[in-house]
Amino acid sequence: MPEKKMIALYLAGWQKRMIRDHLKIAQIPERLSRIMISPRIPKKEWVMYRQPIFEQMRAGAWDLYLTDEQIDFVADEFGVEAKISALHISPEMLETGAVAFV
């Protein structure tokens, strides 16, 4: 089975503001327009509806909420069957390149 490539999600204006609130300036490209997501992200990093926030919060980690269109696209591409609402972004995911903002 061929390895899936990273997918790109184009960011809405409110998502760009959320990213700028959580990341350091050096981590954000000058013209932020999309997020690249690796298919190897563990399923536990996808945040489900009505999931208690305190269970996933770690230092430097935060949730990037998705639009309805992004949720449908991610579910189709990665085969996520649960109803998700966000992607849990951690410093480790940024360091390893599992998630990249471009």
Is residue 59 included in any domain, yes or no? yes
pTM of the shown model = 0.79
Question: Which residue pairs from 13-21 have beta carbons closer than 8 angstroms and sit at least 24 positions apart in sequence?
Answer: 15/64, 15/65, 15/67, 18/64, 18/65, 19/64, 19/101
For residue 62, give its domain range.
7-101
pLDDT on residue 29: 87
Is residue 1 included in any domain, yes or no? no
Cα(10)–Cα(78) distance, integer angstroms: 17
User: Per-residue pLDDT for the chain (102 aa), expressed as one digit of tens each?
Assistant: 445 788 999 999 999 999 988 888 888 888 999 999 998 887 778 877 655 555 555 667 888 999 999 999 998 888 878 788 888 888 888 899 999 999
pLDDT on residue 73: 92
Is residue 72 included in any domain, yes or no? yes
Is residue 28 included in any domain, yes or no? yes
Counted domains in the chain: 1
Is residue 22 included in any domain, yes or no? yes
pLDDT on residue 1: 40
Is residue 53 included in any domain, yes or no? yes
Is residue 2 included in any domain, yes or no? no
pLDDT on residue 44: 76
pLDDT on residue 35: 94
